[in-house]
């Protein structure tokens, strides 16, 4: 494994309609991980060779918002909890690198979300800084 991870934010108003462009980008730029707002539903299907995809959809199952992390299958990792509310979605993974483990999250907070709701998410989430 390399001494670094190439992580990209992909914000293209959805992910499926840009699949071919995304595949070329991943291969050409040797990207390890993509964080995205995918606009997926339970009926959406996205598979990219060599990558594992974790996502959290908008709760009403319409193709907007949501979060996703795409990571190379060869990178040691596992999925953490999902957070799926109408005001906030979060997808999180833990990446095991030597000598550290890092948490990576894709989080979408919708306009008008109250500070109280944001605090509820942060206090209930298991996203904590690691003591290195």
| CA gap 93, 69 in Å, rounded | 8
Report the CATH number that the domain containing residue 28 is assigned in CATH: 3.60.10.10
15, part of any domain:
yes
Tell me how crowded residue 100 is: count the other CB atoms within 10 A of its CB.
Answer: 9
Yes or no: say if 78 and 86 are a contact pair by the CB < 8 Å rule.
no
**pLDDT string in tens for the chain (132-residue length):** 457 889 999 887 788 888 899 999 999 999 999 998 888 888 887 889 999 999 998 888 888 888 999 999 999 999 998 888 888 999 999 999 878 888 999 988 888 888 888 888 777 766 654 433
The model's pTM = 0.85
As for how many domains the chain has, the answer is: 1
Please report whether residue 130 resides in a domain: no
């Amino acid at each position: 494994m390399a001494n670094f991870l190439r992580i990209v934010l992909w914000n293209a108003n959805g992910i499926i309609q840009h699949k071919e462009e995304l595949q070329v980008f991943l291969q050409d730029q040797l990207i390890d991980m993509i964080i995205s707002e995918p606009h997926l539903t339970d009926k959406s299907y996205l598979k990219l060779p060599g990558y594992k995809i974790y996502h959290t959809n908008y709760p009403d199952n319409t193709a907007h918002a949501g979060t996703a992390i795409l990571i190379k299958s060869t990178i040691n990792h596992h999925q953490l909890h999902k957070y799926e509310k109408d005001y906030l979605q979060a997808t999180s993974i833990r990446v095991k690198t030597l000598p550290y483990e890092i948490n990576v999250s894709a989080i979408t907070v919708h306009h008008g979300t109250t500070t109280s709701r944001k605090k509820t998410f942060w206090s209930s989430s298991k996203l904590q800084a690691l003591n290195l």
